[in-house]
């Protein structure tokens, strides 16, 4: 059966993932596509409750393995309750973070090992990988400065980590780009937002031209 497409956005803190995801969602919706916007950890009630536990700034004593397992549990429930049904109904699913966050943050930066974290998460996702992962690459210092300047952005436990941790996360993502070159695409997020947005739109149009041509609603004018 024909299914939708699953696009995830990844990157360090302050990369602008949410802003770009929402802009892309608005564009696709305006063109007549059915879009599901979600995030990790979270997206549905159970996973949002797990998110509160993971990212609570008061939980500084959380063990790294506990953190990894909570992310995987949240991911599993999110998939079966929201992502899979949306894909089965031929939606375009745009997700703010997914498995690569666990591989970069817990696997690489926490030192638990990418392979071990991958094994935990393969059990959770049952081989449901994104069709495309957009890695928004930003210098960790610039990203953290953006967070400090953003009035409405939540400050979570990961934001409070030392700069060395965030540099390690960045190194983890660069490793993932090598491991998954067909799925992950690098986008320089240090630039002006309009430049980043234009590249992402062009990337999605090129990668999913066939799907986009077939699934636009007839009462919308195609470009």
pLDDT digits (tens, 9 = 90+) for 126-177: 999 999 999 999 999 999 888 878 755 566 677 677 889 999 999 999 999 9
Number of domains in the chain: 1
Q: How many CB atoms lie within 10 A of CB 213?
A: 9
Instruction: Please report whether residue 159 resides in a domain.
Output: yes
Residues comprising the binding site? 11-18
Rounded Cα gap, residues 108 and 103, in angstroms: 6
Closest CA to 10 of 187, 131, 161: 187
For residue 167, give its domain range.
Answer: 5-215
DSSP three-state, residue 101: helix
For 18, the token pair is 């949410």
Instruction: Please report whether residue 156 resides in a domain.
Output: yes
- Which CATH number fits the domain that encloses residue 116? 3.40.50.300
For 14, the token pair is 């302050």
pLDDT digits (tens, 9 = 90+) for 38-77: 999 999 999 999 999 998 888 989 999 999 999 999 999 9
Instruction: Please report whether residue 171 resides in a domain.
Output: yes
Rounded Cα gap, residues 163 and 133, in angstroms: 25
Q: Supply the pTM of this predicted model.
A: 0.92
Residues comprising the binding site for ATP? 11-18
Instruction: Please report whether residue 220 resides in a domain.
Output: no
Instruction: Please report whether residue 141 resides in a domain.
Output: yes
């Amino acid at each position: 059966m024909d299914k939708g497409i699953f696009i995830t956005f990844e990157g360090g803190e302050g990369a602008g993932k949410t802003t770009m995801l929402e802009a892309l969602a608005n564009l696709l919706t305006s063109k007549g596509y059915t879009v599901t916007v979600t995030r990790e950890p979270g997206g549905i009630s159970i996973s949002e409750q797990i998110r509160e536990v993971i990212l609570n700034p008061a939980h500084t004593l959380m063990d790294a393995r506990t953190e990894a397992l909570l992310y995987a549990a949240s991911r599993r429930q999110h998939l079966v309750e929201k992502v899979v049904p949306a894909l089965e109904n031929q939606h375009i699913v745009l997700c703010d973070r997914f498995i690569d966050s666990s591989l970069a943050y817990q696997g690489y930066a926490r030192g638990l090992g990418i392979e071990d974290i991958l094994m935990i998460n393969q059990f959770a996702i049952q081989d449901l990988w994104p069709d495309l992962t957009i890695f928004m690459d930003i210098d960790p210092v610039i990203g953290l400065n953006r967070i400090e300047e953003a009035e409405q952005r939540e400050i979570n436990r990961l934001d409070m980590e030392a700069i060395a941790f965030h540099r390690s996360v960045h190194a983890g993502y660069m490793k993932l780009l090598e491991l998954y070159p067909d799925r992950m695409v690098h986008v320089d997020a240090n630039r002006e937002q309009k430049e980043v947005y234009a590249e992402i739109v062009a990337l999605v149009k090129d990668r999913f031209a066939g799907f986009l041509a077939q699934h636009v609603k007839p009462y919308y004018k195609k470009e």
